Amino acid sequence: MAITERIDNITRIPSAYSKARPPAPKSVKIEISPRCNYRCGFCALRTREVQPKWDMDFGLFQRITREMREAGVEEIGVFYLGESFMNPRLLVDCISHCKQTLGFPYVFLTSNASMAFPEAVEACMKAGLDSLKWSVNAADEEQFEHVMGVSGKLFHRALDNVQAAWWMRRQGGHRTGLYASSIRYDGEQQRKMEDLLRERVLPFVDQHYWLPLYSMGAFATTREEELGYRPTAGNQGRLGALREPLPCWSAFTEGHVTAEGKLSACCFDATSNWAMGDLNSVSFMDAWNSEAFAMLRSAHLKRDVRGTVCESCVAYG
C-alpha cells in the first residue's frame, strides 16, 4: 500500500468512527522524544515556553502499546512532534517491542533526517521499521537557516543521511519503505524546492508527496508572520486529498500520545492544551472514550466547536 493511501485512510472518517465514542483508532502516534534539534518557525514545538529534556519512559511505552494492540490498534508511529532520532537507542527498543513482541502490522516514523545517521537507521530497519519518511522543507542552506532556525550544516547532513539510508536499505536487503514529504511554498521558492527534490531526494525515496503549511494547532506565532507564510487552518491532510476542518479527523481516527503520557485530541498539541486523559493513571481506551473526549467529538460532529479548545484552530486564517 502506498504511503499516501495509508495517510488518506487515516484522514478519512468512516461512518463507524463518526460518533462521540468511536472504536479504537487504527493508528496511534507516540512521542518517543519531545526534543528536537531544529527550531522550525512553523512548528508547534516553538509554543513551549520551556523545551523538555526528558524522553518517554520505556515501561510506560510497553504498557500502553500492549493496551493499544489488545484494543485493535494496527499502526504505531514512533514519533509525534519531537525528533525521535534524538534518542536512537530508545527508538530502536520501541520499534523492536512493537514489531517483535506485540506484532503490530505497521510501525512508521517521520524524521528531519539530520540525526538519522546510517548506523541508527540500519538498527531501526533491522528492528522491523516498516516506513521511514523524511520531512524536507528547505530548498537551500539560506532558506534552511531562515526557516529551521539552525546552522546550515544540518541541511547538508540531512540530505546526506537521506541518501545513505537508501543505500543502507539496498545493501542490507531491508524492507523498510523510504518516503519524503515537503511543504508546498509559492512562486520562486517552490521552483527551488522542486529542483532540490529532483536532484537530492527523489532518487532516494519510494514516494514523495506535498503538504500545506499547517497552523500547527492555531498558534499564530510572531515567527510565522516573520517567515511570510500563511498557514492552513488545522490539519487538513495532504495536498491532493485535503479534508474539511470539521469534523477534524485527528480527534476520531488517530491517537496522539505525548512523551509524558497524555492522550491528546490534536495532532499538533505541544502544550497539552488538548489532553483528554493521562495514560499514567488510566488505560488507553478509557482515555480514548473519556467524557472530555466524547464532548469534544460531539461538538465536532455538530460542526460547532465554539467554546471548546478547538475554536481558535478552525477560526484561524
CB 289 within 8 A of CB 296: no
43/74: higher pLDDT: 74
DSSP string, 196-229: HIIIIIGGG-SEEEEE--B-TTT---HHHHHHT-
Report the C-alpha gap between 63 and 44 in whole angstroms: 27
pLDDT of residue 221: 44
Query: What percent of the chain is predicted at pLDDT more than 90?
Result: 72
HSE-CB at 290 with a 13 A cutoff on CA atoms is 20
226/148: higher pLDDT: 148
What number is the average pLDDT over the span 233-246? 70
DSSP state of 67: H
Q: Closest Cα to residue 34, out of 270, 310, 194?
A: 270
Q: 248-269 in b/e burial notation, b at 16+ Cβ within 10 A?
A: bbbbbbbbbbbbbbbbbbbbbb
Task: Centre a 10 Å sphere on the Cβ of residue 190 and count the other Cβ atoms it contains.
Answer: 15
pLDDT of residue 273: 85
pLDDT of residue 241: 66
pLDDT of residue 97: 98
With cell 510506560, the residue in question is 60
pLDDT of residue 73: 98
Cell numbers standing for residue 22: 468511536
Reported as a pLDDT band with limits 50, 70 and 90, residue 307 is: very high
CB 238 within 8 A of CB 209: yes
pLDDT of residue 214: 57
Q: How many residues does the chain have?
A: 317
Query: 86-90, 148-152, 153-157, 158-162 — which is least confidently predicted?
Result: 148-152
Report the C-alpha gap between 32 and 129 in whole angstroms: 14
Cell numbers standing for residue 226: 516573520
Average model confidence (pLDDT) across the chain: 89
- pLDDT tens digits for 213-236? 654 444 444 444 544 544 445 566
> According to the per-residue pLDDT averaged within each range, which of 136-150, 179-193, 212-226, 282-296 is highest?
282-296
pLDDT of residue 12: 94
pLDDT of residue 113: 98
Query: 100-114, 179-193, 301-315 — which is least confidently predicted?
Result: 301-315
pLDDT > 50? residue 274 = yes
Helix axes 153-172 and 141-148, enclosed angle (nearest 10): 100
pLDDT of residue 277: 97
pLDDT of residue 45: 63
pLDDT of residue 49: 60
- pLDDT tens digits for 6-56? 989 999 999 999 999 999 999 999 999 999 988 876 666 666 666 677 899
Report the C-alpha gap between 38 and 165 in whole angstroms: 20
* Whole-Å CA distances, 23 to 18, 73, 248, 275: 10, 10, 16, 19
Q: Closest Cα to residue 69, out of 110, 36, 97?
A: 97
Report the C-alpha gap between 310 and 306 in whole angstroms: 8
DSSP state of 282: S
pLDDT of residue 67: 98
Cell numbers standing for residue 305: 466547536
Cell numbers standing for residue 192: 527551488
